[in-house]
Amino acid sequence: MATANEAGDTAGLARRVLALAGDATGSAGITVVLAEPGRVHLALARRDDLLQFKGYFHGGAISGLADLAAGGSVTTLLPPGRGVVTISLHVNFLAPAKGERIVAKGSVVKTGSTVGVSSVEVVAIDAGHEQLCATATVTFRVVSSG
């Protein structure tokens, strides 16, 4: 049986990850940088309404992208018909997210039939230089996505 985490089905994984986010993804210009079993990287380009008063990416933008990358990473390991709902999100902000885009790199810590946990690093890309600006741990409930 074909599953979303079959080797080689990167395009299918990417579509499945983006389907999670709906309008929030489309309008925010989120792009899938990497989608493979257990890992999803998502990029978000700078836009005025994503910035706080000093011109850095806002905490909500960072947290939202981390949540999506984490949820995507867990989803890549689930059988078809199963999805995730966020239970809790923990973010540590380490440095100002300054630059032309941010990338959230989610990787699964553990997933089971009812609960999944993913760890995320969020980097800011500024003139080609990549700086770690936040880490996050996101906990999900695995649910029927029917």
Residues in the site for a copy of itself, rule: CB under 8 A?
19-24, 27-28, 48-55, 58-61, 63-65, 67-68, 85-95, 109-110, 114-115, 117, 119, 132, 135, 137, 139, 141
CA dihedral 88, 112, 93, 99 (to 10 degrees): -120
CB of 73 to a copy of itself, least distance (A): 15
Write the single-letter amino acid at 50: L
CB of 115 to a copy of itself, least distance (A): 6
Calculate the alpha carbon distances from 91 to 33, 65, 139 in Å: 21, 11, 12
d(CA 58, CA 39): 24
d(CA 37, CA 73): 7
3 versus 52: smaller Cβ distance to a copy of itself = 52
CB of 135 to a copy of itself, least distance (A): 6
37 versus 93: smaller Cβ distance to a copy of itself = 93
